[in-house]
Amino acid sequence: MIKKSLLISGLLVLMHSPATMARDDIGDYSVVNVLSTEQAKAKLSGVRYYFGGQKHGKVAKRFGVFSTNKKSNAFGKSDQEACEWVFLTAMIQLKERALQLGGNAVVNIKSNYRGNLTTSDETFKCGAGAIIAGVALQGEIVSIK
């Protein structure tokens, strides 16, 4: 019984050690890889998305800039799998906000990981740790003619 308690205690200490918890690898992942999946097409339809400096139609109405900050369970997943999943959830949040405000597009979408805005037409930033992955996005909700 004592051996079992020591084993469990040791495992708990290892799980909460700084080396296990400290990993926070920030990577760039493909926007197209995520948005071209059937799941993304189904969940994001009804709103158009323009990353970085991508050209878009004339803006008829501006509703303001909106930010997301989503986290997801990364345990047992590759960084890419976890990051692509959490990116999709952040995009869904942008879509819901656009529809709520009456917009039909989100333009100038940028990564905003830890307050560092980065602009790219092709990639997004994601921080992946041992148990959590996170994506923060910022975009302007608009109505395009």
Q: What's 72's DSSP letter? A: E
96-123 pLDDT tens trace: 999 999 999 999 999 999 999 999 999 9
Q: Does domain 23-144 bear CATH number 3.40.1130.10?
A: no
Q: What angle do CA 59, 60, 61 make, to 5 degrees?
A: 95
Q: Rounded mean pLDDT of the chain? A: 90
Domain segments of the chain as ranges: 23-144
Q: Which residues are registered as beta bridge partners of 112?
A: 117
Residue with tokens 């602009």: 119
Q: Is the pLDDT of residue 6 over 60?
A: no
Is the sign of the CA dihedral 111, 116, 121, 126 positive or negative?
A: negative
